[in-house]
């Protein structure tokens, strides 16, 4: 697909989003609220891609998940944009020129340039390839949304990912990566719009630039990770909860509920957000009816993927409630496996005891990378909030500081953090990104006020400037990998081989295996790269092909491969090759050795690949290992049970 079609698809999706979102917001708030032009454009866009994701679920489950459906939906959205154009005026204000403004614009432009470089490069992030992009691609291949019999990533909510499918079908991979870049940027523009309501424009731009260049935004903004997009939903919901005080009509609170619902529909943590926001609405004046309206709207916008899970498993947030609901064993999940899965998940994701002390210390432990497994270095939120804290406290002592624009987002962010921390779910800090703009929306105005009060405005500027300088350096380092691709002569395959361990073999497989083949792989991030049907072997999110270390029954394993229609295996030498060095010889490895000896698993080809803990640092001289990959055929006539 040509680059022109890709760009046209992204422009069409963006216009359709603004059209659909604008029409909905106008209908809900048009008579009761007067929103500034920039707020209208941003809120419309964010609402619009939520609506688009919501709408596309239905043709998907009905088996009409094709490009013509996406183009038709987009055309309807563009029609809405044309109809609603009068509600979307152009910003009349022009900021006055200054050196500081020029510097800030230069920083934002640099960040934008690096994001664009990432936007035109193929996707390389593991989670993105594994399921954020991988599953929409599978849905498109099948022409329908089907139920993934795989826990955690397979049964996650996927509202925003429906728009990924649309971008991929309409404009190919380039449209997909440009679309994620565009939706990622929308959050920052919305934060700017929210901040400048109560903070001078220059400060708003500085804080927005610091958010835009924060490691978590840098990491997740341009790929398929959904936290940055959930942040837009969260911020939009908070803005409209604040706005509802100006109106007795239910429109603004219903709109806020829709935004919260889009977050619910995109990520399970949206449930925590919707609960936190609903509680804040309930505790305000006229609370109960408004909280009811908010809750109903959130449920309507966010129910789809929970209903989908419930229909297929009986557990709306499968497998979190599987044990608690006492659900019966199925072919893809059992009580015994559920116990194993939850224990293994906890060992990999819960690194801090859920104590009050850790609850208080967590922000510092994560931000200063004191517990590396929280991933506060590469994908953290940065230290802007810490820089702002003392001045924000100084600003908070004034009575005027206790206004809705500050209290509402702060209360929601605080409740979300508290519930999230004690819920026993993953403790990686990037999962707090959705409420980070809410924290900034509260801290930034307080810090500006505090600095003004004690005469430390220059100190605040120096602090924010230092944060920007550090983060911009990180942005440049991050961009080197993508500049290599954009300005060099590298092909897509060469870029992927450099960035995704095992990609070389997938390229060969795509070119040489017949379309009817099914390849099972133990490397989940390869899922998106396969052009033929693939199956991800995971030790604790699926049990249809049991690869737990203790699984050692040859006959059962061969039967499971056959049941899944698996014709080939593609995995590291450590997993598949007889006699290769392994960390430990588990019953599973001994079983593989026996199956290789018997000819059931026949090694057909070997590939060499690179593996590094950091793609970015690999470009700058950081170390990498050479990893051997093996493609093997499954010779069922030589497998146990067939002889």
Partner 1 sequence: MTKRETLRAAALLRLLSLVWLAAVLGAYLWSFRPIVKTILPAWPL
* Binding region for partner 1 (CB under 8 A): 367-370, 372, 376-377, 382-383, 386-387, 389-391, 394, 453-456, 459, 462-463, 466-467, 470, 614, 617, 620-623
Shortest Cβ 454–partner 1 spacing (Å): 4
CB nearer partner 1, residue 461 or residue 604: 461
Residue 633 sits at φ, ψ, to 5 deg, of -95, 150
Residue whose C-alpha is closest to residue 190's, from 11, 43, 14: 43
CB nearer partner 1, residue 106 or residue 466: 466
Q: 10 Å Cβ neighbour count for 504?
A: 19
Distance, in Å, from the CA atom of 617 to the CA atom of 622, rounded to the nearest integer, reads 5
Shortest Cβ 467–partner 1 spacing (Å): 8
Cα atoms in the 13 Å half-sphere on the side-chain side of 3 = 3
Residue 412 sits at φ, ψ, to 5 deg, of -65, -45
Distance, in Å, from the CA atom of 169 to the CA atom of 465, rounded to the nearest integer, reads 42
Distance, in Å, from the CA atom of 275 to the CA atom of 260, rounded to the nearest integer, reads 9
DSSP-based three-state secondary structure for 404: helix
Shortest Cβ 490–partner 1 spacing (Å): 22
List the beta bridge partners of residue 521: 536, 570
Distances (CA, A) of 290 to 164, 284, 293, 402, 418: 33, 9, 5, 22, 24
Residue 340 sits at φ, ψ, to 5 deg, of -60, -45
Distance, in Å, from the CA atom of 365 to the CA atom of 381, rounded to the nearest integer, reads 12
Distance, in Å, from the CA atom of 20 to the CA atom of 78, rounded to the nearest integer, reads 8
Phi/psi-derived region of residue 599, left when phi > 0, alpha when psi is between -120 and 50, beta in every other case:
left
For the chain, give percent helix, strand, coil, nearest 5.
65, 5, 30
Residue whose C-alpha is closest to residue 359's, from 431, 425, 419: 419
CB nearer partner 1, residue 171 or residue 474: 474
Distance, in Å, from the CA atom of 150 to the CA atom of 206, rounded to the nearest integer, reads 43
Strands 625-634 and 601-611: antiparallel
CB nearer partner 1, residue 213 or residue 542: 213
User: What are the residue ranges of helices labelled H in 455-537?
Assistant: 457-487, 492-499, 503-512
Shortest Cβ 613–partner 1 spacing (Å): 9
Distance, in Å, from the CA atom of 620 to the CA atom of 395, rounded to the nearest integer, reads 43
Q: Which two tokens stand for residue 30?
A: 């048009």
CB nearer partner 1, residue 489 or residue 626: 626
409: CB partners within 8 A, 6+ apart: 235, 238, 242, 437, 438, 439, 441, 442
CB nearer partner 1, residue 89 or residue 622: 622
Shortest Cβ 113–partner 1 spacing (Å): 22
Shortest Cβ 206–partner 1 spacing (Å): 15
Shortest Cβ 445–partner 1 spacing (Å): 17
CB nearer partner 1, residue 12 or residue 216: 216
Shortest Cβ 554–partner 1 spacing (Å): 42
List the beta bridge partners of residue 610: 626
CB nearer partner 1, residue 484 or residue 582: 484
Q: Are 207 and 464 in contact (CB under 8 A)?
A: yes
166: CB partners within 8 A, 6+ apart: 13, 52, 56, 70, 73, 74
CB nearer partner 1, residue 488 or residue 622: 622
Shortest Cβ 214–partner 1 spacing (Å): 12
- 516 CA to centre of own chain: 31
Residue whose C-alpha is closest to residue 221's, from 190, 182, 168: 182
CB nearer partner 1, residue 453 or residue 492: 453
Shortest Cβ 374–partner 1 spacing (Å): 11
CB nearer partner 1, residue 303 or residue 624: 624
Shortest Cβ 459–partner 1 spacing (Å): 6
Alpha carbon dihedral 219, 221, 225, 228, in 10-degree steps, equals 110
CB nearer partner 1, residue 462 or residue 563: 462
DSSP-based three-state secondary structure for 468: helix
CB nearer partner 1, residue 103 or residue 456: 456
Distance, in Å, from the CA atom of 463 to the CA atom of 465, rounded to the nearest integer, reads 5
CB nearer partner 1, residue 311 or residue 466: 466
DSSP-based three-state secondary structure for 568: strand
CB nearer partner 1, residue 481 or residue 577: 481
Shortest Cβ 217–partner 1 spacing (Å): 16
Shortest Cβ 625–partner 1 spacing (Å): 14
């Amino acid at each position: 697909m040509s680059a022109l079609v890709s760009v046209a698809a992204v422009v069409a999706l963006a216009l359709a989003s603004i059209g659909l979102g604008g029409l909905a917001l106008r209908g809900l708030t048009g008579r009761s609220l007067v929103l500034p032009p920039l707020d209208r454009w941003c809120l419309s866009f964010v609402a619009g891609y939520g609506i688009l994701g919501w709408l596309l679920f239905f043709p998907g489950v009905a088996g009409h998940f094709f490009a013509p459906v996406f183009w038709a939906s987009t055309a309807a959205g563009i029609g809405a944009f044309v109809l609603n154009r009068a509600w979307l005026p152009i910003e009349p204000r022009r900021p006055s020129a200054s050196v500081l403004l020029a510097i800030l614009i230069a920083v934002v432009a640099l960040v934008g340039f690096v994001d664009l470089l990432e936007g035109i490069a193929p996707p390389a992030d593991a989670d993105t390839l594994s399921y954020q992009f991988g599953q929409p691609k599978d849905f498109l291949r099948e022409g329908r949304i089907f139920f993934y019999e795989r826990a955690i990533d397979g049964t996650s909510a996927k509202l925003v990912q429906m728009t990924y499918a649309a971008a991929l079908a309409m404009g190919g991979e380039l449209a997909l990566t440009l679309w994620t870049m565009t939706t990622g940027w929308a959050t920052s523009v919305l934060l700017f719009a929210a901040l400048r309501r109560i903070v001078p424009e220059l400060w708003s731009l500085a804080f927005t630039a610091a958010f835009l260049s924060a490691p978590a935004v840098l990491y997740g903004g341009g790929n398929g990770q959904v936290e940055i997009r959930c942040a837009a939903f969260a911020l939009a919901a908070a803005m409209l909860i604040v706005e509802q005080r100006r109106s007795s009509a239910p429109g603004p609170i219903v709109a806020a509920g829709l935004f919260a619902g889009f977050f619910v529909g995109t990520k399970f943590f949206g449930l925590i957000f919707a609960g936190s926001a609903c509680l804040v609405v309930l505790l305000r004046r006229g609370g109960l009816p408004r909280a009811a309206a908010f809750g109903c709207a959130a449920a309507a916008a966010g129910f789809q993927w929970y209903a989908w899970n419930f229909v297929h498993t009986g557990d709306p947030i499968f497998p979190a409630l599987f044990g608690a609901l006492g659900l019966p064993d199925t072919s893809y999940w059992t009580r015994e496996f559920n116990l194993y899965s939850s224990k293994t998940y906890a060992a990999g994701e819960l690194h801090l005891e859920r104590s009050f002390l850790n609850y208080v210390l967590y922000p510092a432990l994560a931000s200063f990378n004191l517990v590396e497994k929280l991933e506060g270095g590469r994908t953290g939120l940065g230290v802007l909030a810490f820089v702002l804290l003392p001045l924000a406290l100084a600003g908070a002592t004034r009575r005027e500081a206790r206004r809705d624009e500050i209290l509402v987002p702060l209360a929601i962010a605080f409740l979300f953090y508290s519930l999230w921390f004690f819920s026993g779910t993953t403790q990686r800090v990037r999962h707090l990104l959705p409420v980070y703009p809410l924290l900034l929306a509260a801290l930034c105005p307080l810090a500006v006020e505090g600095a003004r009060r004690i005469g430390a405005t220059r100190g605040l500027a120096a602090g924010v400037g230092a944060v920007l300088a550090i983060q911009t350096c990180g942005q440049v380092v991050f961009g080197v990998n993508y500049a290599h691709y954009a300005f060099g002569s590298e092909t897509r395959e060469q870029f992927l081989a450099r960035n995704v361990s095992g990609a070389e073999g997938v390229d060969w497989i795509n070119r040489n295996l017949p379309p009817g083949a099914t390849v099972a792989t133990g490397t989940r991030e390869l899922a998106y790269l396969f052009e033929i049907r693939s199956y991800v072997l995971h030790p604790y999110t699926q049990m249809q092909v049991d690869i737990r270390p203790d699984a050692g029954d040859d006959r059962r394993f061969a039967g499971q491969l056959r049941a899944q229609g698996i014709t080939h295996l593609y995995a590291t030498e450590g997993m598949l090759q007889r006699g290769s060095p392994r960390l430990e010889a588990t019953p599973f490895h001994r079983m593989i050795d026996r199956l290789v000896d018997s000819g059931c698993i026949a090694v057909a080809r070997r590939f060499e690949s690179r593996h590094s803990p950091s793609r970015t640092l690999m470009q700058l001289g950081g170390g990498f290992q050479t990893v051997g990959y093996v493609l093997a055929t499954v010779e069922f006539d030589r497998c146990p049970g067939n002889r």
